[in-house]
Structure 1
Amino acid sequence: MVLLFYYLSLLNLVDAALTVAGIERSLITEANPLMERVYSIDIGLFISLKILLSMTLLLFIMYKKVPQSRVVKGITLFATASYTAVICLHGFWLVQIV
């Protein structure tokens, strides 16, 4: 689980950077309605929330408090798979513009 938390934290930051780059260049839109609303309010708030999420995951690791329940494992696996797919989509549009 610790490795998944590291991986998820990294994917979240990469997603933030690629999302901002894509939106600012009018190449993509934010597909998550909640994060789209946050982005439309303020890009700094969007970036701050993404950083805060990654920092929270890293704090769980640092304090050796990574939850081990089946529910958290399932959510973590789902989030990791989802983010991996999103990063692949970002990669696709990046290849298209290069």
Structure 2
Amino acid sequence: MNRLLIGFVLIASVLDAGLTDIGLRLHLIGEANPIMEFLYEHMYLGFYALKIALPLSLFFLAARIGKRLLIRGLLNLSVVVYVGILLMHYYWITSSLSVTV
């Protein structure tokens, strides 16, 4: 089960980075996180690196530490947060498509 959740978090982080980039480029959304906004404006690759490095660090922690309660809690929290983020991406994508059609 942990592998499935970790896989979801890693895929969701890549999707989040790509969809956020598209939304920012098309001026459909704004970056709500000031740190990520700074990285996007000044160090484009840093934006992608951080978006993907944080979930990867959780993956390496889980592999190294194992099935501890803290790791499971962080993993479950990450899944909930990424589901919310992907739902927000879905909302702005469908909203912007309905405006252009």
On whether the aligned pair clears a TM of 0.5, the verdict is yes
Instruction: Compute the TM-score of the two structures, normalised by the length of structure 1.
Output: 0.81
Give the share of equivalent positions with the same residue, in percent. Answer: 27
Describe how 1:19-38 pairs up with structure 2 within 5 A.
19-38=20-39
Find the structure with the greater CA-based Rg.
Answer: 2
Amino acid at match of 1:30: E
Relative contact order (alpha carbons < 8 A, sep ≥ 6): 1 or 2 greater? 1
Return 5+ residue gaps in structure 2 as ranges. Answer: none
TM superposition shift of 1:72: 1.3
Determine the structure 1 residue equivalent to 2:12.
11
Does 2:93 align with 1:97?
no
Determine the structure 1 residue equivalent to 2:75.
76
Counting helix residues as a fraction of each chain, which structure ranks higher?
A: 2
Amino acid at match of 1:38: L
Which segments of structure 1 move beyond 6 Å, counting only runs of 4 or more? none
Instruction: Compute the TM-score of the two structures, normalised by the length of structure 2.
Output: 0.79
The secondary structure found in structure 2 opposite 1:26 is coil
Return 5+ residue gaps in structure 1 as ranges. Answer: none
Count of equivalent residues: 96
Give the CA RMSD over aligned residues: 2.1
TM superposition shift of 1:24: 0.9
